[in-house]
């Protein structure tokens, strides 16, 4: 079942409702108990009708719905804003309104209205836990009753007594008296229980002391045998520590040497990796340069052979100087001069580049030779380290096996020398349980003693 929360009115608002053309009352939640005072016909009952109609869609006076609007003019709007716990609740209703007709809207933080006015009213009554049968407690007087101020003192006292529900205090006084009686009975029972727990704790703690004394004697007899084993173990541990130190030193020295070689190898490999070109690329480029140089040299030889043929100006037939031959030589020389220079320059540049590549290739070869040398040194060191580790490890394992044997003997002695352990543990658990029971009872007694003065105070107050 959902817990019923108190509902408070925060604000009411109306347009063209009953005797009010416009009405707005704010901040009900900060006013405490509100009394609405006014002359007859001033609109007091209309305010009550507004709240009743907003909540239940009717009024205690049975006013027809078509008479709710101001002077039957229509365009009636009422708003009732409520607070339920942390929820903001708004009921908004219209009668004969030019836009919303006879509509009802319901909001609990968000719009939760139904598909019709009747459906929405069912939701309102279900969510707020109200119905028209509860309207009789919504007010004391209506416009048809005698004025409160005109009523006799007896009637006014009776009305206020019922309105404030003062009769509940007599009932509460009886309930408090019964509570005090029951609590005092409980207190007596708890104090008796506490006494019994204290006695049983004394007996159990005495038995525990006896068991501890017996266990102590057994432990003293056991310790002599164990002490001899521990002395042997201490001697072995010292020897073992020396061997382990020797192993660490060997490992440290060998590791340092291996790390030094790795550092050199890494440095050489880094040097190789930082070269602008790989060995394969350099070889390919060297071959390309040599090929192009050979091509340039062949072309240069061909041009120079042609020029050589026309270098002499003597006619091979007439054996006399020929101006035409000389002119032809000069022409050919001029035509091929740039090409000859370009070929010679290209060959020279290729030769320079070939020399550079050869230098780099020689360097790569030297680096690789050094890497192989260091790798061989490292392999030799690792083999030596493995042999040393194996010798020391065999000795260490032999000593550790003897230590394990000593530990097993000690464990066996200790296991046989504690026949009271189970009894002692069971008794300790029982003592711990009884102590918790005692603390619980003490706490209950303390709580009851704190409640009694409070209930006695209220008993006096209700009386």
CB 194 within 8 A of CB 445: yes
CA 71 from chain centre, in angstroms, equals 64
Q: State the pairing for strand pair 76-84/87-95.
A: antiparallel
What are the residue boundaries of the structural domains of the chain, listed by start?
7-166, 170-463
CATH number of the 7-166 domain:
3.40.50.300
Distance of alpha carbon 147 from alpha carbon 142, whole angstroms: 9
CB 198 within 8 A of CB 445: no
pTM comes to: 0.35
- Residue ranges in the chain modelled with pLDDT below 50: 1, 136-145, 461-463
CB 29 within 8 A of CB 103: no
Distance of alpha carbon 300 from alpha carbon 347, whole angstroms: 10
State the burial class of residue 123 (Cβ atoms within 10 Å of its Cβ: 0-12, 13-18, 19+): middle
State the burial class of residue 116 (Cβ atoms within 10 Å of its Cβ: 0-12, 13-18, 19+): exposed
Model pLDDT for residues 135-186, shown as the tens digit of each residue:
544 444 444 445 555 566 666 666 565 555 555 556 666 776 777 788 888 8
What integer pLDDT is reported at residue 15 of this predicted model?
Answer: 95
What integer pLDDT is reported at residue 302 of this predicted model?
Answer: 86
Report how far apart, in Å, the C-alpha atoms of 334 and of each of 249, 271, 306, 340, 361 are.
82, 50, 13, 10, 41
Residue from 58, 106, 59 nearest 82 by CA: 106
Distance of alpha carbon 200 from alpha carbon 245, whole angstroms: 59
Distance of alpha carbon 340 from alpha carbon 304, whole angstroms: 8
Report how far apart, in Å, the C-alpha atoms of 333 and of each of 238, 300, 302, 312 are.
98, 13, 13, 13
Distance of alpha carbon 213 from alpha carbon 90, whole angstroms: 79
For the chain, what is the HEC assignment? CCCCCCEEEEEEEEEEECCEEEEEECCHHHCCCCCCCCCCCCCHHHHHHHHHHHHHCCCCCCCCHHHCEHHHCCCEEEEEEEEECCEEEEEEEEECECCCECCEEEEECEECCCCCHHHHHHHHHHHHCCCHHHHHHCCCCCCCCCCHHHCCHHHHHHHHHHHCCCCHHHHHHHHHHHHHHHHHHHHHHHHHHHHHHHHHHHHHHHHHHHHHHHHHHHHHHHHHHHHHHHHHHHHHHHHHHHHHHHHHHHHHHHHHHHHHHHHHHHHHHHHHHCCCCCHHHHHHHHHHHHHHHHHHHHHHHHHHHHHHHCCCCECCCCCCECHHHHHHHHHHHHHHHHHHHHHHHHHHHHHHHHHHHHHHHHHHHHHHHHHHHHHHHHHHHHHHHHHHHHHHHHHHHHHHHHHHHHHHHHHHHHHHCCCCHHHHHHHHHHHHHHHHHHHHHHHHHHHHHHHHHHHHHHHHHHC
């Amino acid at each position: 079942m959902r817990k019923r929360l108190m509902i408070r009115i925060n604000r009411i608002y109306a347009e063209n409702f009953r005797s009010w053309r416009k009405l707005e009352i704010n901040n009900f939640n900060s006013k405490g108990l509100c009394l609405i005072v006014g002359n007859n016909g001033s609109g007091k009952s209309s305010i009550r009708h507004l709240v009743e109609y907003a909540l239940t869609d009717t009024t205690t006076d049975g006013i027809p719905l078509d008479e709710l609007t101001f002077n039957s003019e229509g365009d009636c709007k009422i708003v009732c804003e409520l607070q339920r716990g942390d929820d903001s609740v708004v009921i908004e209703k219209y009668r004969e309104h030019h836009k919303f007709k006879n509509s009802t809207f319901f909001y609990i933080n968000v719009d939760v209205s139904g598909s019709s006015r009747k459906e929405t009213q069912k939701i309102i009554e279900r969510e707020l836990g109200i119905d028209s049968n509860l309207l009789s407690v919504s007010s004391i007087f209506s416009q048809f009753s005698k004025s409160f101020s005109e009523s006799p003192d007896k009637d006014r006292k009776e009305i206020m007594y019922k309105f404030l529900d003062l009769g509940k205090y007599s009932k509460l006084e009886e309930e408090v008296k019964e509570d005090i009686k029951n609590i005092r009975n409980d207190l007596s029972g708890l104090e008796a229980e506490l006494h019994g727990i204290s006695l049983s704790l004394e007996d159990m703690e005495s038995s525990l002391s006896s068991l501890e004394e017996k266990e102590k004697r057994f432990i003293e007899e056991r310790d002599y045998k164990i002490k001899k084993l521990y002395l042997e173990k201490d001697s072995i541990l010292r020897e073992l520590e020396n061997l382990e130190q020797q192993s660490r030193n060997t490992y440290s020295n060998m590791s340092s040497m291996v790390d030094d070689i790795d550092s050199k190898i890494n440095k050489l490999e880094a040097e190789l990796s930082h070269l602008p070109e790989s060995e394969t690329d350099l070889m390919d480029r060297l071959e390309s340069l040599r090929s192009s140089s050979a091509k340039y040299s062949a072309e240069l030889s061909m041009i120079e052979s042609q020029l050589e043929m026309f270098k002499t100006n003597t006619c091979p037939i007439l054996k006399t100087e020929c101006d035409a031959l000389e002119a032809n030589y000069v022409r050919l020389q001029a035509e091929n001069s740039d090409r000859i220079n370009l070929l010679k320059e290209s060959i020279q540049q290729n030769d320079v580049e070939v020399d550079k590549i050869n230098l780099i290739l020689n360097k790569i070869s030297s680096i690789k030779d050094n890497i192989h040398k260091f790798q061989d040194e490292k392999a030799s060191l690792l083999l030596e380290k493995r042999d040393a580790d194996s010798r020391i490890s065999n000795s260490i394992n032999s000593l550790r096996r003897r230590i394990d044997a000593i530990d097993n003997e000690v464990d066996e002695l200790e296991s046989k020398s504690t026949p009271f352990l189970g009894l002692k543990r069971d008794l300790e658990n029982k003592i711990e349980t009884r102590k918790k029971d005692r603390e619980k009872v003490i706490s209950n007694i303390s709580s009851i003693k704190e409640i009694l003065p409070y209930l006695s105070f209220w008993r006096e107050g209700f009386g």
